[in-house]
Each structure stands twice: as structure tokens, then as C-alpha cells.
Structure 1
Amino acid sequence: MSDSLRNKVVVVTGASSGIGKSIVMESAGRGATVVLLARNQGKLAEIAAEARELSGAQAIVLPTDMGKADDIEASFNQLVGAVDHVDYLVNCAGFGKFETFLESDMQNSTRMFQVNVLGLMYFTRLVGRLMMEQRLGQIINFGSIAGKVPTTKSAAYSASKAAVIQFSNVLRLELKPFNVDVMTVNPGPVYTNFFNIADESGNYVKNVQEFMLDPDDVAWQVVHYFGSSKRELNLPLSLALAAKLYALFPMIGDKLSLELASRK
């Protein structure tokens, strides 16, 4: 543990489990004041208590449904009442559902975009304005390798993550004059509760074991780049390479994706 983030404020959405929870704990372990957003108030309270023990600093709980604009605005108002600045915003909230698109429930797709894209954009807009006024800050948005390399049964999810990636690319340019950095994190599959919803059969997880990431390892890498001007973090290296090759050779990439990567 260190004090490298002492007196820094780290805001994390999707903080009740998975990568979001791991980023909260990694930040607290470095002395940060952490602000936790997610729907499950009970889980947030437990994680906040652990974070306070680690950091000796504040851990603020803001129960929020990131798919609802009213919730987001109310939580932002509470945020600015509780802290006098924000150094880092990490947008982890999101979910997916693996199913063929033509047989999918469009309500799931709508909800996916409300949480993964529109909620992220709305909250980022509010916090981004604060960072512009501070002329300091960093926004870290979680996309996915799925937003770069297409696989079957993930049309809506992949589209939502591609939207996050391109949104972040444009936002990076707009905020650069204000000394606010934007980084996109694009992980492959991670051992989290994400797959409890996305992959109810468990087949996909079994088929991609060699690519699965540990959420604590992802969190360490993300927090390592706090305060940097790094543009994008793609994990693991093997899938980062696959994404580059797909961009260069999309027809070959489609063929390989159907044969090797569409294992859901």
C-alpha cells in the first residue's frame, strides 16, 4: 500500500462488483478518497467500509441506477456537495447479454444502451464540466475488445462498447485544451458477475479460459495509468493484437472470428 493517491478523489461507477469494486479497493489502498456509484446500496456500504479501513480517507456511497437520468443527476448533485474536486472518473458500469440479435429482446438492447452508453455519457458530461473548470482531471471509460472485434451473439453489446470507444476518442480531443485526459480501457473476458447475465449457459466462459482476466489485475493496470496521458489500454495482449489485425485485415478477421472467436 502507498500514499500515491492521498488527497485525490476517485469516482467509480459500477462499483458494487467486478472491475469497479477492484478499482475502488486499489485506489483506496493508495490513499484515495473514493466515491462509489451502483444500484446495490448494501454492497456499496460494505465495500466503502473496507475502503475506509484501507485508506483512512472518506468513502462516499451514492446509490445510482446508471440507466436513469434522474438518478445520475441527483447523484452528481450529492457528489459536488460532498467533495470539492474530482481527480479521476472511472466509468465501469455496464452489462451484456449474449444472444443472436434477430431473436433478442429489444428491451434488453434498449436497457443496455441506456446503461452502457447514454448513462455513461450523461454522467461524464456532468463530471467533465467540473474537470474543465478545474482544468485538471482524467476520465477513464470502459469499452471492450468486443467493441473492436465482432463475434456472434453480441451485436447490441458490441455496438454499445464501440459507441463508448468512439465517444471517448472525440471527448479526448474536446477536453485536451482543458488539461483533462481521456483513456479507454478495452478488456477481453474478465472473471466477474458480468457472465451471470451475459452467459447463463456457462459455455462461453469455458471456451475462453485462456483469455480470461482477473479483475484485480485489470484494476492495478488501470490505476497504474492514473495521471498519465495514455490514450487506450487493451487487454490481454493477445486480444489487443487480434484487434489490430482485424482493423488491418477485416475479411480474414471475419473468417477467423466465425471459426475461432464466436464460442458463445
Structure 2
Amino acid sequence: MSDSLRDKVVVVTGASSGIGRSVALQAAERGANLILLARREEKLLEVAAEAKELSGSEVIVLPTDMGRADQIEASFKQIIQKVKHIDFLVNAAGFGDFENFLDQNPQLVTNMFQVNVLGLMYFTRLIARIMIDQNHGQVINIGSIAGKIPTTKSAAYSASKAAVIQFSNVLRLELSPFNVKVMTVNPGPVYTNFFNRADKTGNYVQNVQAFMLDPDDVAWQIVHYFGSNKRELNLPISLAIFAKLYNLCPTIGDYLSLIFGSKK
């Protein structure tokens, strides 16, 4: 791989597994210095060791629960003590739960929004101020195609990802004068541990095999667009097209979603 990210600092949340892990390793292959955040320290250390072997560059590990503002703030204080600039922030932390909304535990929904939305917003607020001061940077928020296409048993999760998408859209406008870019990545289902928690029955994973994405492929595209002006990346192309059609013909979209998309 090239050294295109040599001397660049990449901060990744949710870096212990899934898309976050893959982004960290893809960035390491390009020589980046990494700051990795997630709850599970032992998993973070494994990713850090692999990343350092790939890059030979610095890897900082900060065990952090992205649903807790106090831990986010404590990790941020450590970051600004350890690095002089931040070039890229990838917000990949998040979780889902597939259940009929009226049966869903309200506390679980609260926790989901704390991690998927509020934690992401708070951490981005802190990091973006550094990017404004240095007059460059890029924020990449992992949303979901679920934030664009409604399916049953995902009301709370879809709402959280729709919030991430719209937050990113407005943030892009606000940060544009400071040469700070914002990109949203909205993947469909991805082969990750996400479904160990979200898909309790295993039915959904079985039913959406045709749309499942490899996290390494998603990560490659994310890192490929580091530094670009691309505003949104929707994957796979079939679901990206469906999302556009849904906006044009929502009644037909609801019908098709009930038949083909609500297989949880």
C-alpha cells in the first residue's frame, strides 16, 4: 500500500470491531498514526498491535464508552495532550436492536441514542474545534441505509441513523467555511458483530445475504475518500438506488419495503 497517510492522525471510534476496526487497519496500511476508541480494551489492544505492525507508526488506545459524556471528555483531554493535530475523525461506534418498537425496552432505546447519536455529536463537537483551529480536517460519520429506507423492527435504530445523517448534513454547512469536510457513510447490512446483538433470531442475516457487505470493502472505500469533497457514500449500489426511489415514490417504497425489506 502507499504511504498516503504518513504523518496524518486518524481518530476512530468503535475501533475494536466491525467497520471501525477495518478502517483503522486500512489507514494503518497507508502509514497513518492512529487513535483508537472503544469500550473493550483487550480488543483495542489487539487491533493496535496489528495496526502498528502494518504502519510502524504510533497507535494510541483509549478505552471509552461513547455513550458516556464523562468518558468522552476524559479521552479527548488525553488526545490533545498526545497529538498536535487531527486530520480525520471516523465515528464508527454504534449498535442496533431489531424488535417491534412497542415491545422494545425504553432504556435500551435511550442507550442506543446515547451511543449512536449524542456521543457521536459530543465527540465530534470537541474534535471539530481542533480542526477549525488548524483550518483543515474531515469528519466521517457512519450512518446506515436504515436511516433512509424504513423497515420493520428497526424504528429506534433507523431513527438514530437518520439523526446522524441529518446532523452530518447541517454540520457540513457549518464547517465548510473552515475547510473542514464532512462525509456520511450509509452502508446496508455488513458482516460484523453488530448482528450478534441486533438480530437475536438470526433470521435477518439469513434473509439479506444478497445485500451483505464485507467490512474491509466498506473500509477501503471510506479510506479511499479521505480528504475528498464527497458528501455521502451509500452502499451497496442496489440499496442506494432504492433509497433514491423511495424518496420519489414513498407509497410504492413502503409496499416494497414490507415485502422485501422487512425480513427480521
TM-score range normalised by the length of the shorter chain: over 0.9
Q: Distance in 2 between matches of 1:50 and 1:259?
A: 43
Unaligned runs of 5+ in 2: none
Q: Distance in 1 between matches of 2:47 and 2:259?
A: 41
Q: Distance in 2 between matches of 1:162 and 1:5?
A: 30
Unaligned runs of 5+ in 1: none
1:77, CA displacement in angstroms? 0.5
Residue 182 (structure 2) aligns with:
182
1:50, CA displacement in angstroms? 0.9
Residue 125 (structure 1) aligns with:
125
1:204, CA displacement in angstroms? 0.1
Q: Distance in 1 between matches of 2:261 and 2:38?
A: 31
Residue 44 (structure 1) aligns with:
44
| Structure 1 consecutive aligned stretches of length 4 or more whose deviation exceeds 2 Å | none
1:196 is aligned to 2:196 = yes
1:165 is aligned to 2:165 = yes
Residue 258 (structure 1) aligns with:
258
TM-score of the aligned structures, taking structure 1 as reference length: 1.00
1:68, CA displacement in angstroms? 0.1
Residue 224 (structure 1) aligns with:
224
Residue 78 (structure 2) aligns with:
78
TM-score of the aligned structures, taking structure 2 as reference length: 1.00
Residue 65 (structure 2) aligns with:
65
Q: Which amino acid aligns with 1:173?
A: L
Q: Which amino acid aligns with 1:160?
A: S
Alignment RMSD: 0.4
Q: Distance in 1 between matches of 2:78 and 2:9?
A: 14
SS at match of 2:233: strand
SS at match of 2:141: strand
Q: Which amino acid aligns with 1:186?
A: N
Q: Distance in 1 between matches of 2:134 and 2:144?
A: 29
SS at match of 1:89: strand
Residue 154 (structure 2) aligns with:
154
Q: How many residues align?
A: 264
The percentage of counterpart residues that share the same residue type is 73
1:260, CA displacement in angstroms? 1.0
Q: Distance in 2 between matches of 1:34 and 1:212?
A: 28
Residue 22 (structure 1) aligns with:
22
Residue 141 (structure 1) aligns with:
141
